[in-house]
Amino acid sequence: MKTATKPKRTKAGVPKRKKTAKIAKKAVKPVRKAGAAKAAPLPGVVVGPVTHYFPKVKAAVIKLEKPLSMGDTIVIAGKSGKIRQKVTSLQINRIPIDEGRAGEEVGLEVKKDVVVGDVVYRL
C-alpha cells in the first residue's frame, strides 16, 4: 500500500504548482462570411467630414480638406447612407460664395438628413 505524499511547499508555506507544458498559440485568420462582400471604396476625392448639421434648414457644415465649388457633384456617405447631389448653395458665415478652399468650414444645403462624421466626396 502506497502512502500519500505531501506536496512540496514554498518558504511561505504555499504548495508549489506543478509545471505544465506551454501550448503554442497559433495565429488565427478572421473568417469572412460567405455572403459578405467588402465595401467598395467610393470614387472621387475626399472633400472633408461633416462637422455640424442643422435639420430645420437641411444644411451641413463641412471642414474642407480639398476645394469645393458651386455645381460640383458630391456624394455624402456614412451612417446616414449615400446621398448624391450637386452643390447648389455654398456659404461661409451666411455669405454665399462660389468656391471654398481647403481649411475653410463651409455651409452646404443637403437633400436629406446627414450625420456628423459623414464624409463628403467630390466626383
Q: What is the CATH number of the domain that holds 61?
A: 2.40.30.10
Per-residue pLDDT at 43: 75
27 grid coordinates = 495565429
pTM metric for this prediction: 0.65
Print the domain residue range for 59. Answer: 45-122
* Cα separation, 91 vs 106, whole angstroms: 6
pLDDT, residue 30, reads 63
Total structural domains within the chain: 1
According to the model, what pLDDT value does residue 83 have? 92
The helix or strand, by DSSP H or E, that contains position 105, with its residue range, turns out to be strand 105-109
Q: Is residue 99 part of a domain?
A: yes
Give domain status of residue 8, yes or no. Answer: no
pLDDT in tens, 41-66: 677 899 999 999 999 999 999 999 99
pLDDT of residue 15: 66
32 found inside a domain: no
Domain-located, residue 113:
yes
* Under-70 pLDDT residues of the chain: 1-41
Write down the pLDDT at residue 80. Answer: 81
Q: What is the 3-state secondary structure (H, E, C) of 27-78?
A: CCCCCCCCCCCCCCCCCCEEEEEEEEEECCCCEEEEECCCCEECCCEEEEEE
In a domain, 90, yes or no: yes
Does any domain span residue 92? yes
Give pLDDT, residue 33.
Answer: 58
